[in-house]
Structure 1
Amino acid sequence: MNELLIVVSKVLLASWSVLLESAPFVLLGFFIAGVLKAFVPDDFVATHLGGGGMASIFKASLFGIPIPLCSCGVLPAAAGLKKQGSGNGPVAAFLISTPETGVDSIAVSWALLDPLMTVIRPVIALFMAIATGIAVSFAGKQSANEVAADIDKSGESACASSCCCSHKKQEKLTVAGKFREGMSFAFGDLLNDVGLWLFIGILLSGLISVFVSTEVVSRYLSNEYLSMLVMFIVSVPLYVCATASTPIVAALALKGISPGAALVFLLAGPATNAASLPVIFRMLGRKSALIYLASIVLISLIGGVVVNDLYSYLGYDITHWVSKGAHEEAGIVSIAASVVLLLLVLKSLLPKKQIGHPR
């Protein structure tokens, strides 16, 4: 029993260490997401992504970067674009760019990884979105009846997430009202959708820190190409959003996983989780969806090789590219942010009171 308590305490301490480092940046990311939600009109993206030309693909890839939607939340948004006439190419680009490059995940990358990976991650995700959109656009068009049926099913199936299934009528609000609404979205709907998975990721990072030794990584994942393939295979069945995947990768990086293998997990996980794939197949059609998946596989693996070469060229040891911070002297800001984030996530897990309406 004592040994079990010691192990549990080690896991919790390791997880707390990750939380201390990431919490201020997570809260900052949610805050920026709320500001974007408040002051970027809901129909802004849809009005710029009509059709299926190259311009729409580039716009879909760029617009997806700041939009605060997670891996599941992007599905009904993409289905809405489809209903409004957007082609498969822009929709595919939007499906990749949006969940992989959110402001919250970029902030956590800065906190837990290194500045170079913080820049490389969204840049390669953007390239992947554009390249996949172009590839899918050449896949041909489905019949009109098939598209209409698939869009309706996609929108219905995808709307299981709380982060974008609100269909409230937009009312004219003051600047203060918009700000309050944006913060309510960021620290309500978005945090409800991402918070639990973030904490699962942080807990997994603690488990990795305690149970996965550098010897295990060097023995079984020392081959950089094999490690990339393993990380891709592991990422596909998991529902790991971009924010939650970062602490997992950070823990593995401290054990010796290469930046290329880390990038494969960071890119493939949010874009290919098992929960979203059936919806994507219905939304894009079988041929386009297979091209979508093939593009993600190829570009993430090629990107991993390029990133390893880049780190080596710059003089980094690809087995020691992330350094552990000294959290024994964590400041009051980190501790306060960790407590606030913990309380917000716990609040999001409490059952919501059902408000009855008089007949």
Structure 2
Amino acid sequence: MSDLFLNILAIYLDAAPWLLLGLIAAGLIKAWVSEAWMIRWLGGRGFGPVARAAVIGAPLPLCSCGVLPAALGLRRSGASRGSTLSFLIATPETGVDSVAVTYALMGPFMAIVRPIAAIFSAVFTGILGGLVPEKPLPPAAAPDCDDGGCCSSLPIGKAKPKPSPEAAWKCGLEGLRYAMTDILDDLAFWLAIGIIAAGALITWLPPQSLAQWGSGVPAMLVMLAIGVPMYICATASTPLAASLLLLGVSPGTVLVFLLAGPATNIATLGLLRRELGGPVLAVYLFGISAAAIACGLATDALVQYTGISVTAQVAETGELVPEWLSILSATLIAVFAIRPLRNSLLERVPKAG
């Protein structure tokens, strides 16, 4: 039981900085990105909005929990269902931080293959999700700053006046308040369930035990079965993936884990079902699974054809997030997730403006 608690705590500390970053991004998106812009670029159906969402999300350094508030903010600001799915997949599967670590740990080949596969899986799943009929967006409180400043909504095509520094500051504060209250309340339960489940999986079924499966579709299906419910960041998954390579798992099978693990977990699946419905959740799981296996098989075929030795490129790296930052972020999130304590603190902080 002590191992279970320590693993849950370790996962929470690992996730906290990225979750806090995601909440901040969600608040600023809600505050500073107008609904008109969001609908113009990420609204509607078709390849364009879905591809743009994938390209926008791919370089962002947000993990599978950090992307949830950001994607929720995008959806409630007017992004289409397909674009939301595309952003929700591309963002945690890759990022400038995880690509850098992939290059350091697994070499240039995997550093190139990983983001390409992530964008492909995001666009593929986003297009499938766009085929499901839309339903009305759930009501959500917006930041209280619709005064012609940075986050006021304007008709599509109409120029938005440049906000004053005071208005921009007010919008930013209100956006952060919105993220740390409304959005965090929407996420807290499923995040807790996901982190606890991930701790249990790591405790009783260590991922290193999967190395015996080697390669091929059966091994990839095992990676999917473990990666889908597990919480693991793209960056945090890279050292584990490198160790699997050294233990004999094929690059394509490892790629399946790198795609499915960060993009899916119990928290994401629960929130997705509530926000977008069961049919979209089914499409989401099918799209990620099919794309991950297709990319894995293609990667193994490419390695075999070119004769590249990926295991020879594996190296070691250290922790990217300081321990003090993880503890600070975890404390802040815990405080704001407890409503009575949060309300007591916010009562002492006057609203901006």
In the superposition, the TM-score normalised over structure 2's length comes to 0.63
User: Cα deviation per residue 1:253-312 (whole Å; 9 max; x = unaligned)?
Assistant: 221211111110110112221111021123332223212211111110111011011112
Matches within 5 A, 1:107-126: 107-126=100-119
1:115–1:133 Cα change, 3 Å: same
Contact 2:61/2:98 (CA < 8 Å) preserved in 1?
Answer: no
- Aligned residue among 96, 99, 114 for 1:106: 99
Cα drift, residue 341 of structure 1: 1.9
Q: Does 2:218 correspond to 1:237?
A: no
CA distance in 2, matches of 1:72, 1:224: 29
1:341 is matched with which residue? Answer: 322
* 2:138 match: 152
The CA distance in 2 between the partners of 1:130 and 1:241, in whole Å, is 20
SS in 2 for 1:310: helix
Aligned 8 A contact 1:246 1:266 in 2: yes
Work out whether 1:259 is the aligned partner of 2:217.
Answer: no
SS of equivalent to 1:116 = helix
Inter-CA distance 83–257: structure 2 relative to 1 (3 Å threshold): same
- Distance across 2 between alignment mates of 1:265 and 1:258: 11
| Farther-moved stretch of structure 1 (303-312 vs 51-60) | 51-60
Q: CA contact under 8 A between 1:61 and 1:97: conserved in structure 2?
A: yes
1:95 is aligned to 88
- What is the Cα deviation at residue 357 of structure 1? 5.2
1:223-250 deviations in Å (ceiling 9; x for gaps): 4332211111110111112122112212
Q: In the alignment, is the contact (CA less than 8 A) between 2:215 and 2:252 conserved in 1?
A: no
Is the Cα contact below 8 Å between 1:92 and 1:133 reproduced in 2?
yes
Q: CA 1:254–1:168 in 2, change beyond 3 Å: closer, same or farther?
A: farther
Instruction: Please give the alpha-carbon distance, in whole angstroms, between the structure 1 residues aligned to 2:262 and 2:144.
Output: 27
What is the alpha-carbon distance in structure 1 between the residues aligned to residue 109 and residue 60 of structure 2?
22
Residue deviations 1:151-197 (CA, integer Å, cap 9, x gap): 438x79xxxxxxxxx969768559xx9xxx9xx9xxxxxxxx9xxx9
Distance in 2 of aligned mates of 1:283 and 1:86: 13
State the shift of 1:120 in Å: 0.8
Query: 1:99, 1:242 within 8 Å by CA — same for their partners in 2?
Result: yes
CA distance in 1, matches of 2:346, 2:208: 50
Q: Classify 1:38/1:119 alpha carbon distance in 2 versus 1 (closer, same or farther; 3 Å).
A: farther
What does residue 43 of structure 1 align with? 33
Tell me the residue number matched to 1:22: none
Name the count of aligned residue pairs.
280
Counterparts of 1:287-298 in structure 2 under 5 Å?
Answer: 287-298=279-290
The answer to whether residue 257 in structure 2 is matched with residue 276 in structure 1 is no
Which of 242, 247, 254 is the matching residue for 1:250? 242
Equivalent pair of 2:45/2:130 in contact (CA under 8 Å): yes
Per-residue displacement from partner, 1:69-94 (whole Å, max 9, x unpaired)?
33223233333333343322212111
Structure 2 contact 215–250 (Cα < 8 Å) conserved = no
Counterpart AA for 1:266:
L
The CA deviation at 1:343 is 3.3
Offset at residue 136 of structure 1 (A)? 1.8
CA offsets per residue over residues 106-138 of structure 1, 9 Å max, x none? 222122221111111111111111111222222
Alpha-carbon contact 1:253-1:321 (below 8 Å) kept: no
Greater displacement, 63-72 / 306-315: 63-72
Gaps of 5+ in 2: 1-16, 151-162, 177-187, 189-194, 336-340
Q: Provide TM-score, normalisation by structure 1.
A: 0.63
How many Å separate the matches in 1 of 2:247 and 2:56?
35
User: Could you report, residue by residue, the CA deviation over 1:43-65 in whole angstroms, capped at 9, with x for unpaired residues?
Assistant: 17725212223221121111111
CA contact (8 A) 1:88 1:284 kept: yes
Structure 1 counterpart SS, 2:64: coil
Q: How large is the Cα RMSD of the aligned pairs? A: 4.6
Deviates more, 1:76-85 or 1:101-110: 76-85
What percentage of residue pairs aligned between the two structures are identical?
Answer: 36
Structure 2 distance, partners of 1:347, 1:82, is: 29
CA–CA distance in structure 2, aligned partners of residues 223 and 115 of structure 1: 21
**Mapped contact 1:60–1:93 kept (Cα < 8 A):** yes
Instruction: Tell me the SS of whatever aligns to 1:66.
Output: coil
1:166-181 residue pairs with structure 2 within 5 A? none
Tell me the distance in 1 between the aligned counterparts of 2:347 and 2:73.
Answer: 30
Change (3 A) 1:240 1:356: closer
Aligned AA for 1:54?
F
Query: 1:346: how far off?
Result: 3.6
In the alignment, what sits opposite 2:338? none
Change (3 A) 1:81 1:212: closer
Q: For 1:114, what is the secondary structure of its paired residue?
A: helix
Partner of 2:127: 134
